[in-house]
């Protein structure tokens, strides 16, 4: 059995966990990062994550601090416009379209979109290059024991890690959160989301398009061209049984269904990847910290994929932890630091979880009267310029 000491152990090697490892390692902290599942870094692998992530403006600063941005930038699809379409009439066609332009509040795009498999590829490369980070894919956290002076973690490879801070980035069912005795509040919607990549004849012109009809939004987020054709990442949320049926459709039937649901805004859509599916929930941990333990990402909060909030909230967690650690490295992981982390993040997380919950429930409505009310609400918010700009700034996480 090997005993190792480090500053930080990160349990969870998804996108959030690897970003946190790169950021903390780049800041000079010694880091061990573990995950039971090795990351899939090839697009054509059947297990590849076909979702994409829009990194909003504040997230770029985290990626730069982590030494990741330079490698990611050539693959970025900038998000200049967020378009919301209400298609809640009798037929699946746009009846109200409103565009929120980044130029109204900033010289930069709202953010930059990346395929998740590509993010994993570049993050693995960065961790391999950092002498301060020991990345162990295929290794799980087996047990955790904490005390005021530190944490002792036993891994599946029989190593025992002594860490000053344990960061839980191990997902919505976080074993580390459970070991810390932190409860969660969960809301289930009866929805599932399909994620896949498409090509289309009409260019997206760096516009992210969210189409509301019933069951949940159908969102197309710009990607770089694929095989010379405009390409977008799609997340299609709907009632669970309907999404499950579409998941198993023959490709030609699925392409017909998704083209109709997109209101043919980009012409007929062609499936350019395999499909993945997952259930939609909202979830929030009762606290963000326990003895020598901090929760980030889906261990701390889960939201439906609306408004590009999920991973950007996660990177805000990392930025806050790293700021506190860098200001006072001698107190890394102590009670005062972790109380400050909880206080700094919990109110913002609560507000965003509640706000996205309301947006998602509005997107699910099926009766004509409620669809009309949703369209009227969109129009009212958009029509008042100061309100429109404030909403865009809040969505970015900036003031």
Q: What are 253-305's pLDDT values in tens digits?
A: 999 999 999 999 999 999 999 999 999 999 999 999 999 999 999 999 999 98
Whether 212 is in a domain gets the answer no
What pTM, to 2 d.p., does this model score?
A: 0.90
Whether 45 is in a domain gets the answer no
Report which of 190, 213, 221, 238 is spatially closest to residue 311, judged by C-alpha positions. 221
User: Which contacts qualify for 34-38: CB closer than 8 Å, 24 or more apart?
Assistant: 34/9, 34/10, 34/136, 34/137, 34/139, 34/140, 34/141, 34/155, 35/11, 35/136, 35/137, 35/138, 35/139, 35/140, 35/170, 36/138, 36/139, 36/140, 36/156, 37/13, 37/137, 37/138, 38/137, 38/138
Report which of 218, 217, 216, 224 is spatially closest to residue 199, judged by C-alpha positions. 224
Interhelix angle 310-327/335-364, rounded to 10 degrees, is 170
Report the CATH number that the domain containing residue 322 is assigned in CATH.
3.50.50.60
Whether 275 is in a domain gets the answer no
What are the structure tokens assigned to 243, written together? 């999404």
Distance of CA 356 to the CA centre of its chain: 13
pLDDT, residue 21, reads 97
CB-based contact 164:7 (threshold 8 Å): yes
Residue 6, CB-side half-sphere exposure with 13 Å CA sphere: 26
- For the chain, how many structural domains are there in total? 1
What are the structure tokens assigned to 144, written together? 């955790």
- 27 phi/psi in degrees, rounded to 5: -85, 0
**What sign for the dihedral angle of Cα 258, 278, 373, 90?**
positive
What are the structure tokens assigned to 81, written together? 């416009």
What contacts 23, CB < 8 A, 6 or more positions away? Answer: 62, 65, 66, 318, 319, 322
Range 201-235 burial, b when 16+ CB lie within 10 A, else e: eeebebbbbbbbbbbbbbbbbbbeebeeebbbbbb
Whether 378 is in a domain gets the answer no
What is the tens place of the pLDDT at every residue in 92-137?
788 788 888 887 877 888 889 898 899 999 999 999 999 999 999 9
**Structural domain range at position 129:** 3-40+120-186+288-359
Whether 49 is in a domain gets the answer no
pLDDT, residue 379, reads 58
Q: Given the DSSP bridges, would you call strands 184-199 and 270-271 parallel, antiparallel or unpaired?
A: antiparallel
What is residue 14's three-state secondary structure?
coil
Whether 144 is in a domain gets the answer yes
Whether 147 is in a domain gets the answer yes
Residues of the chain with pLDDT under 50: 387-388, 392, 399
Question: Which residue is listed with tokens 């009670």?
Answer: 335
Q: CA 56 to CA 113: how far, in whole Å? A: 9
Rg of the chain, C-alpha, whole Å:
21
What contacts 390, CB < 8 A, 6 or more positions away? Answer: none
Question: Which residue is listed with tokens 């994409």?
Answer: 52
pLDDT, residue 264, reads 94
Report which of 291, 4, 320 is spatially closest to residue 139, judged by C-alpha positions. 4
Report which of 325, 317, 312, 310 is spatially closest to residue 295, judged by C-alpha positions. 317
CB-based contact 282:187 (threshold 8 Å): yes
pLDDT, residue 387, reads 44
Q: CA 123 to CA 112: how far, in whole Å? A: 16
Whether 170 is in a domain gets the answer yes
Report which of 154, 147, 123, 146 is spatially closest to residue 25, judged by C-alpha positions. 123
CB-based contact 55:45 (threshold 8 Å): no
Report which of 307, 236, 261, 245 is spatially closest to residue 82, judged by C-alpha positions. 307
């Amino acid at each position: 059995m090997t005993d190792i000491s480090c500053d930080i152990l990160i349990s969870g090697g998804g996108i959030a966990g690897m970003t946190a490892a790169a950021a903390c390692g780049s800041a000079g902290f010694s880091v061990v990062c573990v995950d039971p599942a090795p990351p899939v870094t090839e697009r054509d692998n059947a297990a590849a994550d076909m979702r994409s992530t829009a990194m909003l403006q504040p997230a770029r600063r985290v990626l730069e601090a982590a030494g990741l941005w330079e490698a990611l930038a050539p693959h970025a699809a900038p998000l200049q416009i967020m378009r919301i379409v209400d298609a809640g009439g009798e037929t699946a066609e746009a009846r109200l379209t409103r565009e929120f332009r980044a130029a109204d509040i900033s010289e930069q795009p709202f953010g930059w979109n990346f395929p998740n498999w590509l993010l994993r590829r570049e993050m693995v490369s960065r961790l391999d290059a950092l002498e301060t980070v020991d990345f162990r894919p295929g290794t799980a956290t087996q047990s955790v024991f904490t005390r005021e002076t530190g944490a002792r973690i036993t891994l599946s490879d029989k190593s025992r890690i002594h860490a000053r801070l344990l960061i839980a980035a191990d997902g919505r069912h976080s074993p580390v959160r459970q070991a810390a005795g932190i409860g969660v509040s969960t809301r289930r919607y009866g929805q599932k989301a399909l994620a896949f990549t498409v090509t289309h004849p009409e260019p997206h012109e760096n516009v992210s398009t969210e189409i509301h009809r019933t069951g949940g939004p159908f969102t197309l987020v710009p990607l770089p061209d694929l095989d010379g054709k405009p390409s977008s990442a799609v997340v299609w949320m709907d009632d669970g049984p309907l999404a499950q049926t579409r998941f198993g459709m023959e490709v030609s039937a699925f392409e017909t269904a998704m083209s109709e649901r997109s209101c043919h805004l980009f012409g007929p859509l062609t499936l350019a990847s395999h499909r993945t599916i997952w259930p939609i929930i909202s979830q929030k941990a009762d606290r963000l910290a326990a003895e020598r333990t901090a929760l980030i990402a889906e261990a701390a909060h889960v939201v439906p994929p609306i408004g590009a909030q999920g991973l950007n909230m996660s990177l805000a967690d990392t930025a806050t932890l790293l700021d506190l650690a860098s200001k006072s490295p001698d107190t890394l992981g102590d009670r005062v630091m972790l109380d400050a982390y909880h206080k700094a993040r919990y109110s913002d997380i609560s507000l965003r979880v509640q706000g996205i919950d309301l947006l998602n429930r509005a997107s699910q409505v099926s009766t004509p009267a409620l669809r009309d009310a949703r369209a009227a609400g969109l129009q009212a918010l958009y029509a008042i310029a100061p309100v429109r700009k404030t909403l865009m700034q809040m969505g970015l996480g900036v003031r």
